[in-house]
Structure 1
Amino acid sequence: MKIMSYSIETKYKTIEMKEAGYTVKEIMEALNIKNSTQVKTWWRWYRNGETYRFYQQRGKQYTYGKGVKELSEVEQLKLDNKKKDIEIDILKKYKELERKWYPK
């Protein structure tokens, strides 16, 4: 089985066709996409505002701000905020455990 890699233009064309009301099967046939899950994944990323993922290499996950230079300032700030939220949650859990195990 060959691993496919699609161009950014193909990904955006997929989104345009999906918005125009084409079915997944029609999109797959028109753009020569091998797997329907791929179309659904791109569509989910688009709906969630994660279009920066279109620029990522296959298998790369830029969760901690180590993304591509194509990220807009807004998308970079969103990633930074997610990272800060995760750090705050970890600190809250640590404090909770600390109070539980070392009561005053």
Structure 2
Amino acid sequence: MVKKAYSVETKLACIEMKKVDKSNKVIMDALGVKNASQVKTWWRWYQNDELYRFHQPVGNQYTYGKGMKQLSEVEQLRLQVDLLKKYQSLVRESTK
């Protein structure tokens, strides 16, 4: 079985179609996506603000420090700020 690699543009087009309430079947037919679970996965990544995942290669799980080179400096800084905000909120909760 061969893994299908989809371009970032395809993934973003899928998200735009989901935003206007297109069904998974319509999206799959229009973009050539083979499995509905792939559309659901991309949508979940979008909803969780995990946009860096759109740039990771097939078969490689995202780990700290890998895949960040493909993101622009602004996107890297935004991810770092989000991470620090989450850490800060966890510290606040643990000190209560």
TM-score range, shorter chain: 0.7 to 0.9
Shift of residue 74, structure 1, vs aligned partner = 1.2
Q: Mark the runs of 5 or more structure 2 residues left unpaired by the alignment.
A: 92-96
Is the counterpart of residue 75 in structure 1 residue 79 in structure 2? yes
* In 1: Cα distance, 2:53 partner to 2:63 partner: 10
RMSD (CA atoms): 2.3
The amino acid of 1:8's aligned partner reads V
Task: Give yes or no for contact 2:3–2:58 (8 Å, CA) kept in 1.
Answer: no
Deviations 1:62-97 (A, max 9, x none): 332333220511113445677x69xx9xxxxxxxxx
Identical positions, percent: 52
Shift of 1:3: 1.2
Q: With the length of structure 2 as denominator, give the TM-score of the two structures.
A: 0.75
Q: How does 1:1-104 map to 2 (within 5 A)?
A: 1-69=1-69, 70=71, 72=75, 73-79=77-83
Counterpart Cα distance in 2 of 1:80 and 1:4: 34
Distance 1:5 1:12 in 2: 14
- Number of aligned residue pairs: 86
Structure 1 unmatched ranges of 5 or more: 89-104
Do the aligned partners of residues 62 and 80 (structure 1) sit closer, same or farther apart at CA in structure 2, a change above 3 Å counting? farther
CA shift for structure 1 position 29: 0.4
Larger radius of gyration: 1
